Amino acid sequence: MLTVTSLTKRFGSQPVLLNVSLELGSGQVLAVLGRSGGGKTTLLKILAGLEAPDDGQLYLLGQDLRPLPPNERQVVYLYQEPLLFPHLSVFENVAFGLRIRRVPEPEVQAQVTAMLAELDLLDHARKAPHQLSGGQRQRVAFGRALIIRPRLLLLDEPFGNLDAQTRADMQQLFLHVSRQHQISSIFVTHDSREALTVGSRFAYLEAGQLTSFAARADFVQDPRTGITSELAFWRSVEAQR
């Protein structure tokens, strides 16, 4: 459903993405792990249409994305700090995409109420964004994205600002709604545990070079992901008890 071929991007003389290729199937979540500065955000911005690539092809459901402006791609980009309209209620933030598409009012009411119920936000429908916690705000951002049924969801460290428990809850909620709505996503994270929790496919991006793993076991075993060394650490802790 998404095919990226030989994508290249430089900022001035600095190469940021080098010949990046990837494939994503319908309903899959590609977890992209990588250290800071590796080019993850740049990759997502190019897919969203917020940066132009120097070279390479991008096809989503057979359609060339390169000539399309961001608002015609049906791609939603979500990052750490959810961008909500501060003057609109939770309900109206989620309803926004339907209203600009002139969906009839009874349909808006029904769809938004169902989405708020799914995200456990019904009790907060009349609040403004500043009256919510970080996790709640991120759930509103999800609702706003999902209600327009995007073809591709791009998540850039979306739970990075949340405490560990809220982050774990949000990972489960993300898995639930992305399965429920059969959404295809690319989920960028610094955290290998988060990558293993949310991903159905795995890749590692470092210094502009993307490695895709055929199997989860290959991702786990690659020393760059740090998973084997972490496991060794916890085994040594266990052995000393």
Gap between the Cα atoms of 163 and 168, Å rounded:
9
The residue range among 33-41, 68-76, 82-90, 142-150 that interacts with ligand ATP, by the rule CB under 6 A, is 33-41
16 lies in the site for ligand ATP, by CB under 6 A = yes
Size of the site for ligand ATP (CB under 6 A): 10
Q: Which residues of 179-210 are buried (b: 16+ CB within 10 A; e: fewer)?
A: eeeebbbbbbbebbebbbbbbbbbbbbeebeb
212: Cβ contacts below 8 Å, ≥ 6 apart: 21, 22, 23, 201, 202, 203
Report the run of H or E that residue 89 belongs to, with start and end.
Answer: none
Under the binding rule (CB under 6 A), the answer on residue 129 touching ligand ATP is no
| 34 touches ligand ATP by CB under 6 A | yes
The residue within the footprint of ligand ATP, chosen from 24, 29, 30, 42 (CB under 6 A), is 42
Indicate whether 49 belongs to the interface with ligand ATP (CB under 6 A).
no
Does 143 help bind ligand ATP (rule: CB under 6 A)? no
The only residue of 24, 39, 158, 195 in contact with ligand ATP, by rule CB under 6 A: 39
- Told to check if 158 binds ligand ATP by CB under 6 A, we report no
CB of 147 to ligand ATP, least distance (A): 27
Cβ atoms of 31 and 51 within 8 Å: the answer is no
The window from 18-26, 37-45, 79-87, 100-108 that contacts ligand ATP (CB under 6 A) reads 37-45
Nearer to ligand ATP, 52 or 237 (CB): 52
What amino acid is encoded at 34 in this protein? G
DSSP-derived 3-state class of residue 216:
helix
Q: Does 40 interact with ligand ATP (rule: CB under 6 A)?
A: yes
Contacts of 161 (CB under 8 A, 6+ apart): 80, 81, 134
Shortest Cβ 183–ligand ATP spacing (Å): 22
Helix locations, 88-239, DSSP H: 90-100, 105-118, 134-146, 164-180, 192-198, 216-221, 227-239
Residue 41 is a binding residue for ligand ATP (CB under 6 A): yes
* Cβ atoms < 10 Å from Cβ of 67: 8
109: Cβ contacts below 8 Å, ≥ 6 apart: none
The single residue among 6, 37, 109, 117 that binds ligand ATP, judged by CB under 6 A, is 37
Q: Is 38 in the site for ligand ATP (CB under 6 A)?
A: yes
Under rule CB under 6 A, residue 13 binds ligand ATP = no
Residues near ligand ATP, by CB under 6 A: 11, 16, 34, 36-42
